[in-house]
């Protein structure tokens, strides 16, 4: 048995939740993945997956094994990259949305540069998939549900949307015990990159689903997300943020999450997108693998597995406000 390949297939199958998804990632047949994963299970003497009609689910043993495998494979990959680095000079042009650049790419780039000092990174501001923003860009990091038939697209991270505010705000106004109570609070919604006001905050707990129309005295564009965060820190209202952003604020208590026992079903994934020919270029592969690794580190730090939601109804048509989609469907 090719142990390294079997581990790679196992990790990919766990992330994709299917053998066929792992097969597509590596460009091999589903049978090839199934054979090595089964051999791995046989060699370990444990079942790593429960196989159902809905796909693969990790067993307790499989989840524990995955936690050990991911760092080990990342170290092997880093060693391989160091050996390949001398033959991969040049520039990688990256189109990235502001929130990804600030929260993940900026802190990670010094580590990439230390590994590959001969590769230059040219970062372009990128808000949405459009011809005028795609020209000359090699790799894209996009939040949400982009549609671009000419690009390869792979979700490399899941997200959760959470409602947060400063301790001072919760002390003054009380922390909501149910999502419906947010309608009586000052919330600070943001306009999406497509222009839709994201004023419909949706929560799920068990079989209960609640969509709340929120609002307050401020509405900002996506480009001014930092304004919302600063005002939330100052106790001026509740912000609706991605759980992998503002990690220091949450860790230090400057921002405190409400309704932590609820999930958002409309949380957007992080997508790595690129033209098919790019993958054949060594420096592009090095960068894309590194970015994927950076997001996997965020995933591994979570206490529980997070799955991003499907494309929300309000993105399918230009409603102006997300809450208008509820009225039109009613």
Percent of the chain residues past pLDDT 70, beyond the cut: 90
Sign of CA dihedral 298, 299, 300, 301: positive
For residue 50, the number of C-alpha atoms closer than 13 Å in the C-beta half-sphere is 9
Beta partners for residue 292, in sequence order: none
The pLDDT assigned to 316 comes to 62
Judge whether residue 310 has pLDDT over 80: no
> Where along the chain do its domains lie?
3-82, 89-159+268-301, 161-265
The pLDDT assigned to 171 comes to 97
Residue 318 CA to residue 62 CA, distance in Å, equals 43
Whole-model pTM: value is 0.68
The pLDDT assigned to 276 comes to 83
Class of domain 3-82: mainly alpha
Residue 274 CA to residue 278 CA, distance in Å, equals 7
Do domains 89-159+268-301 and 161-265 share one topology? The answer is yes
Convert the pLDDT of each residue in 120-141 to its tens digit: 999 998 776 655 556 788 999 9
- How much is the mean pLDDT over the chain? 87
Judge whether residue 215 has pLDDT over 90: yes
Which fold would CATH assign to domain 161-265? D-Maltodextrin-Binding Protein; domain 2 (3.40.190)
Distances (CA, A) of 100 to 63, 95, 104, 143, 295: 27, 10, 5, 8, 10
CATH architecture label of 89-159+268-301? 3-Layer(aba) Sandwich (3.40)
| Residue with tokens 């001398």, as numbered in its chain | 86
The pLDDT assigned to 82 comes to 57
Confidence of residue 330 (pLDDT cuts 50, 70, 90): very low
For residue 256, the number of C-alpha atoms closer than 13 Å in the C-beta half-sphere is 13
Residues in the chain: 330
The pLDDT assigned to 2 comes to 82
Residue 11 CA to residue 16 CA, distance in Å, equals 9
Distances (CA, A) of 68 to 149, 178, 300: 36, 38, 10
Whether 126 and 140 have beta carbons less than 8 Å apart is answered as: yes
Convert the pLDDT of each residue in 279-299 to its tens digit: 888 899 999 999 999 998 888
Q: Over range 83-102, report the average pLDDT.
A: 80
Confidence of residue 175 (pLDDT cuts 50, 70, 90): very high
Residue 34 CA to residue 57 CA, distance in Å, equals 14
Judge whether residue 204 has pLDDT over 90: yes
Cα of 288 vs its chain's centroid, Å: 14
For residue 263 the two structure tokens come to 């999930």
Instruction: Tell which residue, 136, 139, 158, has the closest CA to residue 273.
Output: 139
């Amino acid at each position: 048995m090719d142990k390294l390949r079997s581990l790679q297939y196992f990790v990919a199958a766990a992330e994709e939740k299917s053998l066929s998804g792992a097969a597509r990632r590596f460009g091999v047949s589903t049978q090839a993945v199934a054979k090595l994963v089964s051999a791995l299970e046989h060699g370990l003497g444990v079942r790593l997956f429960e196989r159902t009609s809905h796909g693969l689910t990790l067993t307790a043993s499989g989840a524990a094994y995955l936690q050990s495998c991911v760092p080990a494979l990342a170290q092997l990959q880093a060693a391989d990259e160091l050996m390949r680095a001398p033959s991969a000079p040049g520039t990688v042009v990256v189109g990235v949305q502001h929130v990804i650049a600030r929260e993940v790419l900026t802190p990670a780039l010094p580590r990439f540069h230390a590994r590959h000092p001969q590769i230059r990174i040219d970062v372009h501001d990128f808000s949405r998939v459009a011809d005028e923003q795609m020209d000359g860009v090699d790799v894209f990091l996009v939040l949400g549900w982009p549609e671009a038939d000419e690009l390869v697209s792979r979700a490399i991270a899941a997200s959760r949307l959470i409602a947060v505010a400063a301790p001072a705000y919760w002390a003054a106004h009380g922390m909501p015990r149910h999502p419906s109570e947010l309608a009586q609070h000052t919330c600070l919604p943001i306009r999406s990159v497509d222009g839709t006001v994201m004023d419909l905050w949706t929560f799920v707990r068990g079989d209960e689903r609640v969509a709340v129309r929120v609002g307050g005295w401020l509405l900002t564009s996506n480009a001014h997300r930092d304004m919302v965060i600063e005002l939330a820190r100052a106790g001026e209202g509740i912000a609706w943020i991605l759980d992998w952003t503002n990690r220091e604020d949450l860790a230090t208590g400057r921002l405190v999450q409400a309704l932590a026992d609820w999930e958002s079903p409309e949380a957007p994934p992080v997508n790595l997108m690129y033209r098919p020919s790019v993958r054949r270029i060594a420096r592009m592969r090095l960068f894309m693998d590194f970015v994927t690794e950076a997001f996997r580190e965020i995933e591994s730090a979570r206490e529980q597995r997070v799955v991003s939601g499907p494309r929300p109804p309000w993105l399918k048509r230009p409603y102006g406000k997300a809450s208008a989609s509820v009225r039109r469907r009613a």
